[in-house]
Structure 1
Amino acid sequence: MPRSTRPSLPPAALTWLVGDEPVRVIALGCSPGMINRLVGMGHGVVVIDSDHARAAAIAARFAGDERVLTAVGRADELPVQPCIAHVVLLQGRFRSPLTGPPVNQHAAHSQISRSLQSGGWVAGWQVVRDDTVPWVRRLINLMRSVDSSAMSGAVENDFADLLASKYFPRIERRNFRLWVPITRSGMIEMVTSQRGVSRLAERDRRQLVGEASEIFDSAARISELRLPYQMQCWRAHVDHHELTQPISFGDGSLVIPI
């Protein structure tokens, strides 16, 4: 997908994901831009990244800002106290460090559960192209005349296992529609970047680009051409009863049986 057409998370979607009241958020693998948005909304942010260089860059960027704490850590070995946050926000799949074993999914789910306060949740999203718009369907049909798998729009859910985890039995979902402007050059880049196009003879390739341009022109005559997407957002609410070492509270203090 061309960089100019990559959709960003709408403000309404981010508000739904983390809530509209300021809370403490663990930003796990989130970009500096996302962290800046969370701080701008009034949240306190604990940034955790498995890469030392990325974590150092984020710490330097927010140096002196007491609302942002930064640590190096894996999703399956979170370096935080139990029940420290109301929300854990995930931006993309769990990142494994360059050295060492890959992230243990089950352990990561348990670690996220322990880091959340009672009533808290872990949240994330994925972007799916909406193929119901007529000009998009025409473009897909054109591309599939060259490659049957082109522009499938299929997106694998990076957190399907988490959403099926016993630690998060109640799931909320909400979709947000987003329209992203696309230029003629952006569409041509999208078309020519498809795997099957590179195998075409030059004459066939020029013909394909010409037909794609006609689709752009016919659709753009009606209004500004925009690619439709769905932001599929989810919130998974924690249940501490499922922890093998349950968390409880007594006399105002935290108790973790071992």
Structure 2
Amino acid sequence: MSAVGRLSLPPTALQWLVGDEPVRIVALGCSRGIVNRLVKEGHGVVAIDPDLQRCRQLLAGRPASEALIAMVGRADELPVQPCVAHVVLLGGPWRSQPGRPRISAHQAHGQISRALQAGGWVAGWQIVRDDTVPWVRRLITLMRTIDPDAMSGSGGGGHEDLLTSKYFPRIERREFRLWAPVARRDLVEMVSSQRQVSGLDDATKRHLISEVNQILDSAARMSELRLPYQMQCWRAHVDHHELTQPISFGDGSLVIPI
């Protein structure tokens, strides 16, 4: 029942994630669409991705500009100077180059902390199905009469450990409702393709599909079905006091004790 791939960040959500005013943003693993939206809104963007081809795609068809810089890099080895950004925006789970070791989450947290200016934050989101909508609850209840674990997947963001990191002690959260249009035939096919459903006898299967269609009839508006989701956004504010090599400023210059 996943339609997450068809969803995009609402303007209000993206604005909440990065703030109201144009700032310098390190976009880590963000899509081309999100990067383009940030540049269009006046932000200066340093886009970092472990894949060289994706970096090239971010710059394709765009004139050379200081508004967007694309760099190959990984979260635990950020190729940027300390305090370069007011916001680090995480576009998805950590990814590393093929053949390289897995990302060290602890080192990534420290690298992101160093990349942020005092007062800055790292931001991200995850999209989960909203099971509070009545027709979705009814469909889940029906499917679990066949399979107790049916429709249990709801996505994930992959950064839960960052939200408990000592480098980011203050967390803000906000949720946004999303709707994904979906065809009735796709939902019926999703039900029919379940392993437990395919094993039913023909009469039981027809009865189940009939009940599914009744639920969808009650949910349809203007001949369109829409799946409800919640976009769970968060901002984690940096605290440089927790760095093992503290960052400080003196006489207008950056000081990083070694």
The answer to whether the aligner puts 1:60 opposite 2:60 as a matched pair is: yes
Q: Please tell me whether the aligned partners of residues 51 and 97 of structure 1 are also in contact (alpha carbons under 8 angstroms).
A: yes
Please identify, of 34-43 and 108-117, the stretch whose mean Cα deviation from structure 2 is larger: 34-43
2:35 corresponds in structure 1 to 35
Tell me, which stretches of 5 or more residues in structure 2 are unaligned?
A: none
CA distance in 2: counterparts of 1:199 and 1:37, whole angstroms: 47
Shift of 1:249: 0.7
Distance 1:137 1:3, change over 3 A: closer
2:78 corresponds in structure 1 to 78
2:127 corresponds in structure 1 to 127
1:256 corresponds in structure 2 to 256
Identity rate of aligned residues, in percent? 66
SS in structure 1 of the partner of residue 161 of structure 2: helix
CA distance in 1: counterparts of 2:231 and 2:103, whole angstroms: 26
Shift of 1:162: 0.4
Shift of 1:201: 5.1
Encode CA deviations 1:216-253: one digit per residue, 9 max, x unaligned.
Answer: 11222688532221111100000011111111111111
CA distance in 2: counterparts of 1:30 and 1:81, whole angstroms: 20
Tell me, which stretches of 5 or more residues in structure 1 are unaligned?
A: none
Please identify, of 202-211 and 170-179, the stretch whose mean Cα deviation from structure 2 is larger: 202-211
Please identify, of 4-13 and 191-200, the stretch whose mean Cα deviation from structure 2 is larger: 191-200
| 2:219 partner amino acid | A
The answer to whether the aligner puts 1:89 opposite 2:114 as a matched pair is: no
Please identify, of 94-103 and 56-65, the stretch whose mean Cα deviation from structure 2 is larger: 56-65
CA distance in 1: counterparts of 2:46 and 2:148, whole angstroms: 45
CA distance in 1: counterparts of 2:154 and 2:193, whole angstroms: 17
| 1:142 partner amino acid | L
Please identify, of 231-240 and 58-67, the stretch whose mean Cα deviation from structure 2 is larger: 58-67
Distance 1:149 1:245, change over 3 A: same
Please identify, of 27-36 and 201-210, the stretch whose mean Cα deviation from structure 2 is larger: 201-210
Shift of 1:211: 2.4
CA distance in 1: counterparts of 2:190 and 2:21, whole angstroms: 39
| 2:93 partner amino acid | R
Q: Please tell me whether the aligned partners of residues 4 and 186 of structure 1 are also in contact (alpha carbons under 8 angstroms).
A: no
SS in structure 2 of the partner of residue 227 of structure 1: strand
Q: Please tell me whether the aligned partners of residues 55 and 70 of structure 1 are also in contact (alpha carbons under 8 angstroms).
A: yes
The answer to whether the aligner puts 1:103 opposite 2:103 as a matched pair is: yes
Matching of residues 222-233 of structure 1 within 5 Å: 224-233=224-233
Q: Please tell me whether the aligned partners of residues 2 and 186 of structure 1 are also in contact (alpha carbons under 8 angstroms).
A: no
| 1:172 partner amino acid | E
SS in structure 1 of the partner of residue 71 of structure 2: strand
Distance 1:3 1:130, change over 3 A: closer
Please identify, of 239-248 and 198-207, the stretch whose mean Cα deviation from structure 2 is larger: 198-207
Q: Please tell me whether the aligned partners of residues 135 and 215 of structure 2 are also in contact (alpha carbons under 8 angstroms).
A: yes
Distance 1:54 1:193, change over 3 A: farther
CA distance in 2: counterparts of 1:202 and 1:62, whole angstroms: 57
SS in structure 1 of the partner of residue 236 of structure 2: strand
CA distance in 2: counterparts of 1:10 and 1:201, whole angstroms: 44
Q: Please tell me whether the aligned partners of residues 150 and 196 of structure 1 are also in contact (alpha carbons under 8 angstroms).
A: no
Shift of 1:56: 2.0
CA RMSD, aligned part only?
2.2
Distance 1:94 1:139, change over 3 A: same
SS in structure 2 of the partner of residue 81 of structure 1: coil
CA distance in 1: counterparts of 2:16 and 2:156, whole angstroms: 22
Q: Please tell me whether the aligned partners of residues 96 and 103 of structure 2 are also in contact (alpha carbons under 8 angstroms).
A: yes
Shift of 1:7: 2.5
- TM-score normalized with structure 1 length: 0.91
CA distance in 2: counterparts of 1:211 and 1:159, whole angstroms: 38
CA distance in 1: counterparts of 2:28 and 2:195, whole angstroms: 33
SS in structure 2 of the partner of residue 150 of structure 1: coil
